[in-house]
Structure 1
Amino acid sequence: MSNLTGRRILYTGASGGLGHETTLQLLAAGAEVIVLDRDARKNESLIADTPADLKARLHLIECDLTDKPALQSLLDQLTTTRALDAVINNAAIYPSKPFEEYSLEEQALVHAVNVEAALICTRAALPGMRAQGWGRIINITSITLTGGWENLVPYVQSKGALLGLTRAWAREFGKWGITVNAIAPGAFPTDAEKIHPDPVGYAARIMDSQAIKRRGHPGDIAASIRFFLSDEAGFITGQSLAVDGGWTMH
């Protein structure tokens, strides 16, 4: 496991789904992890699963990422005394219905959580990273960008925006020793899968599509995040890594 001792990491939407296990692994690797998540039940579960000797380095803040003034105020407080070494833009909402049934307000809400929060968090962390000449930004995108899923237009649009930001930020921030990369998870057994009306059929589709014939587990994502956070990944930027068992290949 990469040694992340002393690293200060901001991680949005980290209490549930794939973030829970990754947070525990980052703490075990020595990092201080600041979690922004509004799901009280999942927050409580993360606290309960955190070993007692690691709890002092976990800072769990219930936060509505769509409340931009409150989010900015919180970030100002977090960055006043010490820089953030890394930002993991993971928070997302995942509604599913035909494109014509989404209102503009619903589409704007997806964009606010999945993209605008990432913009605000990254902008807040940038001055400290630039001053210290080191930083890591990881954007969690999705293999839905490959076009194989219906009824997810606002979500896919938002993940496309994050991929574009990954490349644009990587080009702009590289001169300050800051890397920016994306991770595109495949099909993992999380709450997000509950939107599919036929779970058995969906599971069969996953096994047919993947080269590796097992379901992904949160540790697969945690390993890729730890790698991008490491010093060993310092010459890799602007890239998108699909962690999907070989569902998509480029």
Structure 2
Amino acid sequence: MTGTMEGRRVVYTGGAGGLGTGTTLAMLAEGAEVHVLDRDAAKGAALLAEVPQDAQDRVFVHDVDLLDRAALTACLDGLVAEKAIDVVINNAALYPSKPFEDFTDAELDAVHRVNVEAAATCTRAALPGMRAQGWGRVLNVTSITLSGQWENLVPYVQSKGALLGLTRAWAREFGKWGVTVNAISPGAFPTDAEKIHPDPEGYNAMVLDRQAVKRRGTPQDIAATVMFLASDAAGFITGQSLAVNGGWVME
């Protein structure tokens, strides 16, 4: 351990399971204190089972439904009352798939509330502490789907576009306080989200065909990107979107 995140407090939505566990473990290995906000109890328990004994006192899984703004606010208020939050990773997302005309208003609203409004709530809660100490990192997880190559994901793509806009607007507004804001745009990683595809083998072959790098992405690929953007080394990088997609889409 090099301790590049020694003493940093991190709030990570959706930080258990999928791509989250690998990043959480990487941050713990570098000395961070990580507060995972995830309503999936099984994934939370699985994450905790992977945490080394010497890091058990630096990881906390909070059972919070991001659709419940009052519960989310209460959780965040409790955290910032203890100490400043240094890093916010807005990662949690709903990923429903069907034709646009089949979505109800309630379903559209739920995607926006989890994918966008919860990110704004977490960032707003952490900002005063970041501003006071003159240092902070906000990382928004967007998506390769913003390239326009997918059907039946309208509310999801819409929400990721909103996050990209927030990345740039927040970066402009927060930079004077030493707070950087960047987006990470993952490609097609093998997670539970892929289970919506009816032909997994065909989908896997399609992904590899379109990527320049002929392997599937791993949680470690995302973790390395997060660790860099959350570090002091990335202090002059803000308002950017970093694609981590094996060269599928090149910006």
TM-score (norm 1): 0.99
- Letter paired with 1:157: Q
Q: Offset at 1:199?
A: 1.0
Structure 2 distance, partners of 1:233, 1:44, is: 32
| Structure 2 runs not aligned, ≥5 long | none
Residues in 1 aligned to 2:128 and 2:41: alpha-carbon distance in whole angstroms: 31
Report the 3-state secondary structure (helix = DSSP H, G, I; strand = E; otherwise coil) of the residue aligned with 2:212. Answer: coil
Residue deviations 1:62-120, cap 9 Å, x none?
A: 11011101111111111012100010000001000001100111000000110010000
- Unmatched 5+ residue regions in structure 1? none
Distance in 2 of aligned mates of 1:87 and 1:206 = 30
| Deviation, structure 1 residue 237 | 0.1
1:139 paired residue number? 140
Partner of 1:108: 109
Shift of 1:16: 1.1
- Give the Cα separation in 2 of the matches to 1:35 and 1:138: 14
Shift in Å at residue 2 of structure 1? 6.3
Q: How does 1:142-181 map to 2 (within 5 A)?
A: 142-181=143-182
**CA-to-aligned-CA distance 1:173-219 (integer Å, 9 cap, x gap):** 00000000000000111000001111111111101110000000000
- Aligned residue number for residue 99 of structure 2: 98
Write out per-residue CA displacement over residues 128-170 of structure 1, whole angstroms, 9 at most, x where no aligned residue.
Answer: 0000000000000000000000000000000000000000000
Q: Could you tell me which residue of structure 2 aligns to residue 70 of structure 1?
A: 71
Any conservation in 1 of the 2:3–2:31 contact (CA below 8 Å)? no
Once residues 200 and 56 of structure 1 are traced to their aligned partners in structure 2, the CA distance between those partners, rounded to angstroms, is: 41
Secondary structure of residue in 2 paired with 1:97: coil
Q: Give the C-alpha shift of residue 23 in structure 1.
A: 0.2
Displacement of 1:236: 0.1
Distance 1:133 1:183 in 2: 23
Q: Distance between the aligned counterparts of 2:11 and 2:164, measured in 1?
A: 19
User: Is the 8 Å Cα contact of residues 2 and 230 (structure 1) preserved in structure 2?
Assistant: no
RMSD: 0.7
CA distance in 1: counterparts of 2:202 and 2:3, whole angstroms: 38
Aligned residue pair count: 250
- State the secondary structure of the residue aligned to 1:54: helix
Runs of 4+ residues over 3 Å off in structure 1 = none
